[in-house]
Structure formats: C-alpha cells, structure tokens
Structure 1
Amino acid sequence: MWLQVGLLCLPFLFLSSLSQATDRASLHRSSDPAIRCHYTFTVTRPEDSSCPESGLTPETDAILSRLTLLEALVSRVMAGAEGATGTGVRANSEEGLQEAYSQVTRERNQLQQDKEHLNRQIQELQRRLAELSQEAESLRQTPCQQTHTTGGPEHERRPSVYLYIPTFLYYTDFSYILSLTDPAHHFGNGDYQEMKAEVTEVPASHLISEGNHNFTGCGELLSVGDPVLHRKADSITGKYGVWLQDPEPQGAYYTNKTVWRIDAVGKDVRQLFVYEDMDQFSRGFPRKVLALPEPMESTGATIYRDSLYYQRKLSRTLIHYSLTSESLVSHLDLPSASFHGQYPYSWGGYTDIDLAVDEQGLWAIYSTSKAKGAIVISQLDPESLVVKKSWETKIRKNTVANAFMVCGRLYTLASYTAPNTTINYVFDTATSVGLAVSVPFKNKYRYNSMLDYNHAQKKLYAWDNFHMVTYDVRLRRVGHGNR
C-alpha cells in the first residue's frame, strides 16, 4: 500500500520542483515599427546561481534529496513486504514441525504404554509359572498317604486321559486314593476318597505308536490329520459323490487296493467305476465300469466285504449289491426312515440315509418322524439288511454336516464349508451316552459332501468340492473301554 502511494506521489514532486525553477525566468514584450510584437524569454545561467561552487541548482538538489528520501521509503516498504512474507513462511514451517513433533511424541507415548502392558503380562505369566512349579514340587515331595484294601491292590486304576499339545504330549493318570491324613474329614468310618493327578511328560512318539498304524484295536478318536489329495473330478458330475476302498475284501478278484468311485450328480446315478489301485485312480484310468441295478440316492453308499450298499432313489429301500457276481443280493426298507430331503445333513443333497462301516460291521445313520429329526443309529445284518439294534441320539441330523462310525461310536462333523471346523459330537453305542467333543478337522476345498471311515487303513475318505481326499486318524487306547 505504501509503495503504491509513494510511486503516485513521485510525478507531483518532480513537477513541483520544475515550477520552482521557472520562478527565476522573465518574459518581455516589445513592438517594432511594423506594429509587430516581440516576446523575449530570459533564464538565468547556472553560474549566476547563489551556489556557484556546486554543479546543481538548489531546485535540482531539492529534487535529488526528495528522490533519495523516496528511494529510502520504497526500500523500507519493500523490506517490510518481504519480511511479512518470510514471517508467514516461517510460521507455516514452524507449525508443520510442531505438528510432526506432537505426532511423534504421541506415538512414542503409545509405544511406551504397550511396552509397559507387555511387561506386566510377562511378569504375571512368570508369577503363575513359579506358583505352578512350586505346587508341582510340593505335590511330589508330600504325597498323600495310602490305605490298602484287604487282599487288593493299593489303588484302583481308572481310564487314562491324554492331553494333546502340538509340540509335546502329556500322559495323565488319574488315581483314586483312600486317605486318613486330614482328621477334619469324617465320612462313615472316617475314610474319604481324594483324586490325585500325576502329570508326566512323555515323548510324542510313544503315543503315536499307539495311534495310527501300530495300534490296530478299537479306541476313541484322538485326532484327524490334514487332507491328502488323490484325484480331482474333471466334470460337473463330480462335484460330489462317493469313493472308497473295501476294508475287508473276501476274494482275490478285488483287493483292499481296489478303488471304487460313484459320481452322484445326475438324474439317474447307476455307474460304478472300478480302479486297479490308487495310482490308476489318481491317473483316471478305470479298470471297468459296473451298471447298478437300481438308481442310487445321494452320497450315503459304502463298500464292505465285496459288496456295495446303497439307498435306492426316492425311497427308504436299501440295496445289497454283490461286486463279484455283479448282481442284486437283497433289498429291504429301513423301518420308518426319512428319505429324499426330510432329514438330510446340513449340506442337503438328499442325505437322509447314510450307510457306514467300522470294526463292528454295517451301520445306517438316519432319522425318523418319531425321533423328530434326531439322529438314529441302526446296526444292520450285512446279508439280509435286517436291523439288529437301534439307538436314538440327542443331536439333530440337519445341524451337522456329515457323520461316520469308528469302533461303534458315531462322530459328527460340525460344518461342510468352514475351512477349519471340528468333529463336534460322539455317541457311544456301548454305553448309549453322547457328549460334545472338539477334534480339529479341515475342509480344504470348502464343500465336504461325503465322509466315511476305513478301519483297515485307519483313514477317513472324503469328497470335498470335486476333490477326493483322505485323512489319517489316530485312535486312543482306552483300557477297560476296549472292545
């Protein structure tokens, strides 16, 4: 603003100085005989000025002074403008630095808080570890006194419990011991029972040797391994189906290496593909194809002792088909069994009747109107298909994805799509007791439509979204519970 005013004033200052200079000029007028007017304009020479030693007149000197003052004023105005601009830049720069410093300070404080929280957690874990170590040492140094029953062992052994941990395994032996050490406890004759848990770390190999291949007896399901892929179907008819190996082949024509496969997608499922062994199966080279006498419903079929057992389409009729003679052996209606979508597994597929085989024989897993959707288990005669005995569970069939039998125990799968799910329920036909369990299980391909157990291979066979896979299983020896 001051710069503009100064520049506007400059012309007026210069004109004013010129006007002062012309005050010393004079104009004279005269006439000649021809009656003409003559005008004479006279200006004083520089040497006639009052300051002959200077080369400038006072007026010029005044102009130069004013110009010098004006230049100084302009310089001050320009310096002020530049200073204002520099101050703004510096202010913005300082504000940015202050904000960045505040952000760094906040992050440092947060990291410090996180560090203190983690240190507290570490201290708490160390404290708990020290307490548990002291308690374990105390239990080892001061065992409970034991009383002996006449003519009997010192204490009765109870079924053992295994705790599975990924890096190592523990074997826990629970024993009931009679003790008279505490006089405050008096029940009847003064004796009372207390439970003592002795935890001993043992190598994992010791338990594994009892699990998968070396342990051939019956036991409870301990774990299921990761899926192993053997074949992927190459057409839409292979989205779901049945594939198995016979755990107990009876003749020499087919062996336990023979692989059987049925694609269950289609209106009329009758083709049974036969493969020489797992290698030919993986390469997709069938040995032959059998035509079934009746169309099959869903994925509940199974192979047992050179025979195929399956449900006839749109009925509760069970079919017993001989694989060696390639003929129908017997058929029978499963009493009161639901069919064709009344009580299927949660994935659907008309899986109302599911046939299974284990160490104890042939089973049917289904439901009835009387059971109101709860799973019913029936043991069948392998020749006539007559029901030998039945059990009703308390878990609904449409709430689980699939089921299979191991050593007379029913196991159910929680989900057919979740990549990491569980075996969530077991029902023991020997005791008629069911309970919830949690054995990890992986649906790698997110659509498990078939799950069956092969007791000879100690494997689960599954059909998972076009993929035919197996799972290694480990069973736990249960002592008195062995059957």
Structure 2
Amino acid sequence: MSQSIFILLILIPLTFTQSVRGKDCVCDLKNSDPAFPEKKLKNVETSALQCTRTITSEKMTDLDRLMLGLQQRVKQVEENVIVLEKEDDRNLYGAVSLRIIELEIAEIQDLLNKLNRTTQNYHHLSVQPAAQLEVMKDKMAELEKFDNMQVIKTNRENERVKRDLEQCKEELNATTAAPPTVLPARCGLGRVVSVAGPRTYSLTVFTSYTYGAWGRDAQPAPGDENKYWLVVLSTSNVYGNFIRQYGTLSTLLLGIGPKDTYISSTNPTTNTIQGPNMVMYGNALYYNCYNTYSVCQFNMTTRAVSTVALPKDTGYSNKFPFAHLAATYAYTDMDFATDESGVYVIYATTSNFGNVIISKVETSNPPVLNQTWSTSLHKRTATNTFMVCGVLYATRYLDQETEEIFYSYDTKTKEERFDLKINIKKMQTNIQFLNYDPRDHLLYVYSDAYILTYELIFQ
C-alpha cells in the first residue's frame, strides 16, 4: 500500500487518511488542487485556429507582388537615369528623356499609392491577431500552473534543443556539402502562379507594323549583356529581312542609335523571316525560314544562315497558326522559345492531328533537333507559348483586356494541365509575340506595334 501511495504523490498533490477496521485497511485520497479547466484549453485552441485562418500567405500575395513590382520599377528608373546621363546627345533628346523618366516616376507613385491602400486594408491582419495572441499567452500561462510535473516546460526545452541541433546540422552541411545540381526542368524557381505588369510599355518607331518581336539575347556574348533587338515584319505583316539592335533599353524606347543587320537585301526571299515568332540566343536569331518547314539560324556576326528541317508534315505558311474564335494570328505556325537550358521550337504536324509538338534545338552550327515531346494541346486553341525551366506554357485570348495562361506541359514528367487560369493584363487587343527571358524572368511581348514586359511570379 505504501508503494501505491508514493506513486500517487508524484502525479498529483494528495492528502490521505488511514483507518483500520479489523483486518480491513481503508485509504481516503483527496486531490488538493482544483479541477483542470478543460474549457479554457479548448477556447485557446479555437482562438489559435482562427488566427491561423486569418493570417495566410494567400492574403499577403498582393502586398508581396506590389513590393516586388515597386523594387523592379525603381531599379529600372535608376538604370535609365544612369544611361541617359552618360549619353551625349547635345540636349537633342534631353526633353524627351526627361519626359520618359517623369512618366516612369509617375507610375512608381501610382504603385506607392496602391501599396499604401493595400497596407491599410491588411492592417487588421496584424492588429487583431496580435491582441488575440496576447490573450492566448495569458491563458496559457494560467493553464501551466496545473502542470505540477513541469511536463510543458520540459517539452518546450526539448523542442528548443532539437531546433538548435537541426540548425547546427544545416550550418554544417552548408559549409561542407557541395551545392546541388539543378536539372534544366527543375531550375529552382517553382511553378508560375501569376503575372505582374506591364513593367515596360512603349510604342515602337514602326507604328504601322503590328507584327514583330523584340527582347534580349538569352545567352549574350561578353559586352552585349545590355543590348536589345527588335524585328518588325515590314512586308504584309508577315515577312522581315533585318534585325535592329540598340545598346540599351532607353535608346530603344527613344529610338536612338539603332544598328540594322540585314539577312537579305530583298524581302521576302530565301532564308528571310516568316512570321513573328523568333528568339535571339548566342548571337544568333532563330526563326521560321521563308516558305519552308525549316528552322533558320542567322549568325549576327558572320551573317551566315544555317537551317535544319522539321518533319515533312509540319504545318507552315498558315496551316497551323495560333488562333482564337474571333481571329487567326497569321503565319504563326512555328513558335520559338528560350529558357534556362536553351532554345525550343513549338509547332504542329498532321500526324499529331494538329496538336503541339516541342523540339529542343541544339544551337550548334548548323543547328540540330534533339529531344521531342508530343502534347494533346491543339495548336489553334492557343494564341502563344513560352518555356520556363523545361515547362511549356500556353496562352489564350479571353477578351480585349485579358490574356490567360491556361495550359502547361512539363517535359520532365510529361504532365499536362489545362486549369492554370493565370491572367495577363493586356494594353492592346492582340499579342503577336511572347517569350520568356531566363536572365531577368520577364516576358517580352510585341502587341499591335507596342513593346511590353511582364514579370512572372513564382511559387
């Protein structure tokens, strides 16, 4: 009996009396502490659950996007000011340059105003839960008084020691282990969850040519990192025969000091450009050769053209263009895309029933087609495609103000999705060209003679 009483005294404070009635021994046990307040504990659990539901990462997404967009715009203005200060145009374009910077600063002010409004709207996310946390803290301190065996305190100390141990292991691995190798299809960015912008919006000097393309070299030569290229389809909005280059973004926006490189003196003719979809990679332009089912590689330095043929049943000359119910984007049978691993060509064949096919283009001289993937996306149901980290994304026309990224195909897992529902805010009705730049994670867009950039937001 004495052993049993000893165990009970450890668990809870007890008082006992003992009496002897003949051969019978009777023990009266009484708990000296009040009953544990289970209701208070449940109230604390309910309050914690409500706080968790109130403060979520989704509710802060808009705030994060605005902050990121503001940082990018300020950085862009700083770069433009530095470039314009270095440009000696004898005040010829001084007024125009100042006007552009003034407009950019006005847009930054709009972002600041929106950020302030958003911050005020979400102020209660920090004020109200903070008060609830203080109340829960007091209640938990009160409940801990019932923990006579110091279980809560001991468990809390154990958790702290575990966290310190894990942190020590991570620091040790960070200093001794080699960085992991990231596969092209898994380049560490996560999936695309939204599109912010536009960040850049300007009318080109070629105001009458609604079809064209522009961007940066995804793998530039040393010294060419800041160059931009522009191609307009100057014949029937279908054909082009020269590439225009600018030293900086500001000179492109102002139309100052362009350098033209001609593929051919006549247009159209053999090996000139057909359709608005093209990319620049490794000082070479990749595009659909005039009136053939071939990929052209034009070396910007030597001005030499090399080609590689796609399958003979590949659509070209407006057989499988991008389209929507109200319109067709003429001669967009072949689309070219760049990502972290190189160049791709997106097209359709009759043997694949007009569905999209992706082929990796090896950028050797001449170029060579490498791995190929077949999808179930019919090409005429999309208006554009681009690649990010080995994943193909496709867009479609919703209305005059909205384009939607609705589809993806992962070349690593071969997983297809038709439910993305990521909207792009359009400034013009049509988007004739769209490509992703892995250097700055921006989408470069040519839209009815306007050039724009959008920022991809990753999970």
Fold conserved (TM > 0.5)? yes
Q: Say which structure, 1 or 2, has more relative contact order (CA 8 Å, 6+ apart).
A: 2
Instruction: Evaluate the alpha carbon distance shift between residue 451 and residue 164 of structure 1 in structure 2; reply closer, same or farther with a 3 A threshold.
Output: farther
Unaligned stretches of 5+ in structure 2?
Answer: 1-42, 65-185, 265-270
Q: CA deviation at 1:139?
A: 12
Name 1:258's counterpart in structure 2.
227
Name 2:378's counterpart in structure 1.
396
User: Is the counterpart of residue 300 in structure 1 residue 307 in structure 2?
Assistant: no
Name 2:330's counterpart in structure 1.
349
Q: CA deviation at 1:365?
A: 0.6
Instruction: Evaluate the alpha carbon distance shift between residue 434 and residue 286 of structure 1 in structure 2; reply closer, same or farther with a 3 A threshold.
Output: farther
User: Is the counterpart of residue 370 in structure 1 residue 351 in structure 2?
Assistant: yes
Q: CA deviation at 1:317?
A: 1.5
Name 2:198's counterpart in structure 1.
227
Moved more, 318-327 or 414-423: 414-423
SS of 2:372's equivalent in the other structure is strand
Aligned counterpart in structure 1 of residue 363 of structure 2, from 379, 382, 407: 382
Q: CA deviation at 1:273?
A: 0.7
Q: CA deviation at 1:422?
A: 1.8
Name 1:327's counterpart in structure 2.
304
Q: CA deviation at 1:134?
A: 4.1
Name 1:62's counterpart in structure 2.
none
Rg (Cα) greater in structure: 1
* Superposed CA RMSD: 2.8
Unaligned stretches of 5+ in structure 1?
Answer: 1-130, 141-160, 170-214, 477-483
Q: CA deviation at 1:271?
A: 1.6
Contact 1:233 1:239 in 2 (8 A): no
Partner AA of 2:244 in structure 1:
F
Provide Cα deviations, 1:81-109, integer angstroms capped at 9, x if missing partner. Answer: xxxxxxxxxxxxxxxxxxxxxxxxxxxxx
Aligned counterpart in structure 1 of residue 392 of structure 2, from 384, 404, 410: 410
Q: CA deviation at 1:235?
A: 4.1
> What is the rounded CA distance, in whole Å, between the counterparts of 2:57 and 2:378 in structure 1?
29
Q: CA deviation at 1:438?
A: 1.4
Name 1:428's counterpart in structure 2.
410
Runs of 4+ in structure 1 off by over 6 angstroms are none
> What is the rounded CA distance, in whole Å, between the counterparts of 1:135 and 1:458 in structure 2?
41
Residue-pair matches, total: 278
Contact 1:458 1:473 in 2 (8 A): yes
> What is the rounded CA distance, in whole Å, between the counterparts of 1:285 and 1:243 in structure 2?
16
Q: CA deviation at 1:416?
A: 7.3
Contact 1:373 1:397 in 2 (8 A): yes
Provide Cα deviations, 1:205-225, integer angstroms capped at 9, x if missing partner. Answer: xxxxxxxxxx98443212211
- 1:79-478 counterparts in 2 under 5 A? 134=46, 137=49, 163=58, 166-167=61-62, 217-235=188-206, 237-252=208-223, 255-267=224-236, 268-293=239-264, 294-328=271-305, 330-335=306-311, 336-346=313-323, 347-383=328-364, 384-415=366-397, 418-436=400-418, 437-476=420-459
> What is the rounded CA distance, in whole Å, between the counterparts of 2:254 and 2:50 in structure 1?
62
Q: CA deviation at 1:164?
A: 6.7
> What is the rounded CA distance, in whole Å, between the counterparts of 1:230 and 1:258 in structure 2?
18
Partner AA of 1:332 in structure 2:
V
SS of 1:137's equivalent in the other structure is helix
Partner AA of 2:436 in structure 1:
Y
Partner AA of 1:401 in structure 2:
T
Q: CA deviation at 1:406?
A: 0.4
Instruction: Evaluate the alpha carbon distance shift between residue 321 and residue 378 of structure 1 in structure 2; reply closer, same or farther with a 3 A threshold.
Output: same
Contact 1:231 1:281 in 2 (8 A): no
SS of 2:439's equivalent in the other structure is coil
Provide Cα deviations, 1:371-397, integer angstroms capped at 9, x if missing partner. Answer: 111111111111133221111111111
